[in-house]
Amino acid sequence: MLGELDFDLVDEALRRCGANWNAAQAHGLITSQLAVRGEVAPDGILGPILEGCARNDALRTECEAILLALYRTTRQWLTERLSAFALLLPDDSAGTDVRTMALAHWSEGFLHGLVSGPQMSEPQSTLLRSRLADAPIADIIKDMLEITRAGSMEGDNDEDEEEAYTEIVEYMRVAAQLVYEELAAFRTGSTI
């Protein structure tokens, strides 16, 4: 849960307005776009999520408001380095396989956000590729690529599955914050 926003609220709003993204993917994208682009106008980040949704539609307007709240909460937690930062995923009442699939979708959105966005100058694009290829970001990307392939966790028992899921979520939470910190110089245009 992110403040007053929970997975089901965001996911339902996205479905109602006809978005092709789910809540986990959208939050992954927002998180990584903030890491790459910093505090930019949210329209540029939220636009791809709402692509294909009818303009001037009440459902889209409602969805935009929910996504804007998600963007602002995520931005605050990342910029203020708050330990409250969390991934937007289904709550514990959902089955482990549902939560695992959402985790894979969150990773997809995050990875998409690292490499998409507005056109950059060649020097900026080269610098970003270089930063993404360096440790620890390269290792995080590799791990997230593996997570995108996640299916149902098939442990010996529910307790093992739950423990593994919890560990992966915590790793990704910290990894997302680390990527944000590692790209600080890139966002500000400073040299490293």
Instruction: Give me the pLDDT at residue 192, please.
Output: 45
Domain presence at residue 112: yes
Query: Can you give the residue range of the structural domain that contains 47?
Result: 7-188
| pLDDT < 50 stretches in the chain | 192
Residue 171's nearest CA partner among 179, 159, 182 is 179
Domain presence at residue 35: yes
Domain presence at residue 109: yes
Domain presence at residue 2: no
Domain presence at residue 92: yes
Domain presence at residue 62: yes
Domain presence at residue 129: yes
* Number of separate domains in the chain: 1
Domain presence at residue 1: no
**pTM of the predicted protein model:** 0.91
Query: DSSP letter string over 66-98?
Result: HHHHHHHHHHHHHHTT-TT-------TTS-HHH
CA 145/CA 107 separation, integer angstroms: 7
CATH number at residue 131: 1.20.120.740
